[in-house]
Amino acid sequence: MEQWVVTMPFATLDGRQGTQDFVVSAPDALSALAAAVTCANEDHAARHRRHAAIDTEAAVIALWQE
């Protein structure tokens, strides 16, 4: 299984923007995105971005480079 980094942009209701990164283990990029979406929906991840909406369709998925 490979390590992937999935970067997803987010935006708050007041217009602030940023990205949140997730490092996940998955056999392929699509599975990595699914795992990252699961992580993004966890309470601690949502708190980290101050509950801003995350844009999963604009995710960037890459193999983790050590």
Domains belonging to the chain, first-starting first, are 2-63 (3.10.20)
Model confidence pLDDT, tens digit, residues 26-38: 999 999 999 999 9
Confidence of residue 65 (pLDDT cuts 50, 70, 90): confident
Q: What are phi and psi of 19, to 5 degrees?
A: -135, 155
**Which residues face 5 on adjacent strands?**
23, 62
Q: How many CA atoms lie within 13 A of 16 on its CB side?
A: 7
Rounded distance, CA 37 to CA 45, Å? 10
Model confidence pLDDT, tens digit, residues 6-63: 999 999 888 899 999 999 999 999 999 999 999 999 999 999 998 999 999 999 999 9
DSSP, collapsed to helix, strand or coil, labels residue 31 as: helix
